[in-house]
Amino acid sequence: MIGSFLMGVIMGGAAVYFYGPQIREYLDEKTRTARSKAADTLQAASEGLQAAKETVEGGLSGQKRRVG
């Protein structure tokens, strides 16, 4: 059992050592679209939050303060 695990660790390490650059390039190609969509979603959320902040600040500054 432990011998199989150690053999897997050694083989996995060797695969990453020899094929690491190709694996990274493949993953970069396959995830580029997902990363782009995530960035667009975060940008849209940021713009929405900024608009909400401006709305709240505008509403607060337009109110008169009432003292007890």
What pLDDT is recorded for position 66?
57
Domain limits at 39?
A: 23-56
pTM here? 0.48
Residue 20 has pLDDT above 80, yes or no: yes
What was the pLDDT predicted at 59? 79
Q: Which one, of 41, 39, 38, lies nearest residue 49 by Cα?
A: 41
pLDDT of residue 1: 85
The verdict on residue 41 lying in a domain is: yes
Q: Would 13 be classed as within a structural domain?
A: no
**At 41, which amino acid appears?**
T
Domain tally, the chain: 1
Higher pLDDT, 68 or 3: 3
Q: Is the dihedral of CA 7, 11, 16, 18 positive or negative?
A: positive
The span from the CA of 23 to the CA of 20, in Å, is 5
Distance CA 27, CA 13 (A): 18
37-67 pLDDT, tens digit each: 999 999 999 999 999 998 888 877 766 555 5
